[in-house]
Structure 1
Amino acid sequence: MALPRLRSRLGDGGFVLSSWLGIPEPLVHEAFLRADFDAATFDVQHGLLDVASLRDGIERAVLLGRPALVRLPIEDRSLAARCLDFGATGLIMPMIETAEDARAFVSVVKYPPTGLRSYGPTRAAQLHGYDDRNAYVPEARTETLAFAMIETSAALDNLPEILAIDGLDGVFVGPSDLSIALSGNGTLDPRSETTESAIRQIAASAASADKIAAIYAATPQDVQRYRGYGYRLACVGSDFGVLAAGAAALAKAAAG
């Protein structure tokens, strides 16, 4: 074993489909990890995960052969570094609006000389099968990925400068917040033409900067549309949504 080669899977022509997990329940995690997703993304910003359930979820993902990504709380750079030490492969930082925000994020999650990530990957090296944990470090420089969320007007305005930050591997679009920000009146409409245009622009800008474009997709149909725009990573639906929809469908079918 070694760190998942997520970067190579996201290379030209590659595409990764991830589940989206926010419930701190091992059996829920396992159900999605055993499904035909390429990766698992744990949502700490809006999910119900605490540090212990997040740590265990990352461990479960690695042991079941799935790269673990984490959507962090806003500006929680200390948790970002801990998630990597827990064994995560990718990190998503919300509400990045400037190059300075992106640089601060990169500084804590990339080892020198790119950043200032502190050394201590004891559990990560063990989980990923490195007999010598020092061997983890050079691979982590390229194989642990940092994504800046683009979900505000300021982020869109500053996108070229954000994409130029060394060590930032890509951007991750939050269509809901982006739609609210771009609507002018706080309206949520992630499929509006204004939002769709921005989503296409972000994908094109990322490709021009040789960075990975990633996105949250509410439905499978959204996944296919975003993939057509050039997105190489999509997180679809959520464990909350799947459970609620499944329960409602089961009750309706049984009631006749």
Structure 2
Amino acid sequence: MTETAEQAVQFVAMARKSFPALSSMRGSGGPAAAAVRSAAPMASHFLRRRGEDLLMKAVQVETEAGLANVREIAKVEGLDMVFFAPVELAASAPRGQEAGLLLALETAEAEVKRAKKLLGGMLVPGRSAEMMFAAGYDLVCTTSDVILVRAAAENIVREAKPPATGPKGGLVRFVTSGREAKFARNDETLVTRLKKSRQARALGALVRLGSAAAAELVAASGFEVVVLDHSRGAEDLLGAVALVHAASRAGAHSLMRVPALSQAHLRRALQVGVEGIILPGVESAEEAHALVELCLYPSRNLRDDSHAAEARLKNQPFRRMDFSFAPPLVEFYGQRVAEFSRRQGEALLIAAQVDSPEGAAHIREIVKVEGIDMIFVDAMRLSGADVERIETAAKKHHRLLGGLLVPGCHVEDMYRAGYKLVCAASDHGLLAEGAKACLKAERPVE
């Protein structure tokens, strides 16, 4: 996601550093390398320059800011290609302004060709690959591995399962998969389970070790919610997929506590398949609103505005674009934008974590933000008065209450105070406690 020429310059500089000098190459200490250096003093420079020539350096433009600065970006020395991502461009545009992106994209394409840089991108809605090549594109990505896998799987299922209304439809009855049954009943997701009953409660645990086995053991032990803690742990988004699946196998819901309000991280976190997002350090209504907007990527519609969003999607030039290769939840692969956005709005838990006196001071404005489901409390830096203020505001505006277990309190105390979700442990804490208990039981008393 490149938005400025400065970012492009930094990228090119890092790419050049990826080709070390001859002295740091494998085998450079041997007699052959010494002979090369003595016979040809410029050999190191030649090899490094040759490596730079072989590596194509491309930046991806996927936001309005990047589109506006494409002329300066294309002029960066050492940059080979500018790659456009129309789906991300559509998602970054303000509501109702998606139509102007196609014209702006054509202007940006001309700027890239004028700078004599290679032009690449994903297939633009309304264009064929031939049209894009004729327009000057050097590289066109027409599909993705997920779309290819899904299409092949659908073909096999279509051949194996006869239509229900056909002549063979009544001969075989297929069972409903667990995943289909889960989403056929809307009350199976965490947010709806907590909202549908005043008595509904959930016990959670933070996962920081990055171990799928640990996540499954924690969930199988009786914790209903597993929170992937990316705000402090050493986890990565690729490894999070295995953790989500492990928690699901044990029957637990999975949430993710993200490190910051970042479009790039949030967008990819939602693709992992978690049922909710917790953003730490929320201190204003503006930050809470930005969280909701990013969580409802790419259609950017609030829950109460789904019909208007579907109407807008039918009238915008990107309406024929299949967003299914990058859905907010993995269960929604293959769904169209309006459909999975509507279901996502109903199924996704969006939580704003208040953990500072500044956030507590603005809690009355934060709880009024449409789309925030839960106020998540981390009381480590809060006074008793701050915590009470947060709890009162959340209850008054009918927001769910969640939080980390307050030191000195019991889980039952927090449930009685109105908390719906209490994270009472972490996987590394449980491991440490288990090790201490084992040593205490096995080590002889001196």
- TM-score w.r.t. structure 2 length? 0.49
Q: Indicate yes or no: 2:301 matched with 1:133.
A: no
Q: Which position in structure 1 is the counterpart of 2:443?
A: 255
Whether contact under 8 Å (2:225, 2:254) holds in the other structure is: yes
Q: How does 1:107-186 map to 2 (within 5 A)?
A: 107-110=293-296, 111-114=299-302, 119-120=323-324, 128=331, 132-134=334-336, 135-176=339-380, 178-179=381-382
Q: Is 1:198 matched up with 2:386?
A: yes
Equivalent of residue 5 in structure 1, options 189, 195, 205: 189
Query: One-letter code of the match for 2:258?
Result: L
SS in 2 for 1:23: coil
1:100 is aligned to 2:286: yes
What is the CA deviation profile of residues 114-169 of structure 1, one whole-angstrom value per residue up to 9, with x for unaligned ones?
289x95465765x53x5852453322112101111101111111101111111111
Task: Flag the structure with larger Rg.
Answer: 2
SS in 2 for 1:10: helix
CA distance in structure 1 between the partners assigned to 2:386 and 2:342 by the alignment = 36
Match of 2:363, as an amino acid? Answer: L
Q: Does 1:226 align with 2:430?
A: no
How far is the alpha carbon of 1:100 from its aligned partner?
0.7
Q: Which residue of 2 aligns with 1:184?
A: none
Q: Say which structure, 1 or 2, has more relative contact order (CA 8 Å, 6+ apart).
A: 1
Cα displacement (A) at 1:56 = 1.9
Q: Would you say how many aligned residue pairs link Structure 1 and Structure 2?
A: 237
SS at match of 1:17: strand
SS at match of 1:60: helix
CA contact (8 A) 1:204 1:230 kept: no
Does the Cα contact within 8 Å between 2:208 and 2:234 map onto a contact in 1?
yes
The aligned amino acid for 1:158 is H
Amino acid at match of 2:256: V
Q: What is the match of residue 69 of structure 1?
A: 255
Q: Secondary structure at the match of 1:205?
A: helix
**Cα distance per residue 1:67-123 (max 9 Å; x no partner):** 11001102234222222221110110011101111111111002432289x954657
Q: Tell me if the contact between 1:202 and 1:213 (Cα under 8 Å) persists in the aligned partners.
A: no
In structure 1, distance between residues paired with 2:386 and 2:341: 36
RMSD (Å) for aligned C-alpha atoms: 2.5
Residue in structure 1 matching 2:273, options 71, 74, 87: 87
Q: Which residue of 2 aligns with 1:240?
A: 428
The answer as to whether partners of 1:90 and 1:145 remain within 8 angstroms in 2 is yes
Residues 1:235 and 1:208: Cα distance change in structure 2 (over 3 Å): same
8 A Cα contact 1:92 1:172, kept in partner: yes
| 2:410 aligned counterpart, secondary structure | helix
Q: SS of the residue aligned with 1:213?
A: strand
**SS of aligned partner of 1:164:** coil
Instruction: Tell me the amino acid that sits aligned with residue 136 of structure 1.
Output: F
Decide whether aligned partners of structure 1 residues 156 and 216 sit closer, same or farther in structure 2, where only a CA change above 3 A counts. Answer: same
What percentage of aligned pairs have identical amino acids? 22
Q: Distance in 2 between matches of 1:94 and 1:119?
A: 29
8 Å contact kept, 1:68–1:88: yes
> Could you say which residue in structure 2 is the equivalent of 1:182?
none
- Structure 2: distance between partners of 1:153 and 1:119: 40
Cα displacement (A) at 1:173 = 0.6
Unpaired segments ≥5 residues, structure 2: 1-178, 304-308, 310-321
